[in-house]
Chain A
Amino acid sequence: MPGVTAVMQSSSVVVAIGGLPIRLRCDNPDFVRMIEERYAGFVSSSDSAGFDFEIELAPPGTLSRDEDVRVTWNSGRWLMERGDFRAEWNPSTARGHIRQTITPYSLDSVLRIVHTLLLAREGGFLLHASSAIRNGRAFLFSGVSGAGKTTMARLAPPDAALLTDEISYVTRREGRYVAVGTPFFGELARVGENLHAPIEALYLLAKGPENKIEPITGTDAVRGLLENILFFARDPEFVKLVFDTACDFAARVPVRRLTFVPNASVWELIV
Chain B
Amino acid sequence: MKNYRYVARSTAIAARALGDETMVMSATDSTLFTLNEVASVIWAAADGVTPLDEIVAKKICTQFDIAPEVALKDAETLVEGLAGHGLLLLSDQPLVQPPSSRGEAL
Contact = CB atoms under 8 A, between A and B. Distances in A.
Interface stretch (A152-160, A182-190, A239-247): A239-247
B106 A118 contact: yes
Interface string A234-262: 11111110011001000000000000000
Contacts, number: 55
B23 A237 contact: no
Contacts of B25: 226, 239, 243
B28 A234 contact: yes
B21 A219 contact: yes
Given A234-B30, A239-B30, A73 B105 contact: yes
A121 B26 CA distance: 19
Interface residues of B, number: 20
Nearest to A120: B106
Contacts of A240: 14, 27
Given A239-B28, A247-B23, 8 more contacts: A73-B105, A218-B19, A219-B18, A219-B23, A234-B30, A236-B12, A237-B27, A247-B16
Interface of A: 73, 91, 117-118, 120-121, 218-219, 222-223, 226, 231, 234-240, 243-244, 247
29 contacts: A117-B106, A118-B106, A120-B106, A218-B19, A218-B21, A219-B18, A219-B19, A219-B21, A219-B34, A222-B16, A222-B18, A222-B23, A223-B23, A223-B32, A226-B32, A231-B30, A235-B105, A236-B12, A237-B27, A237-B102, A239-B14, A239-B28, A239-B30, A240-B14, A243-B14, A243-B23, A243-B25, A244-B14, A247-B16
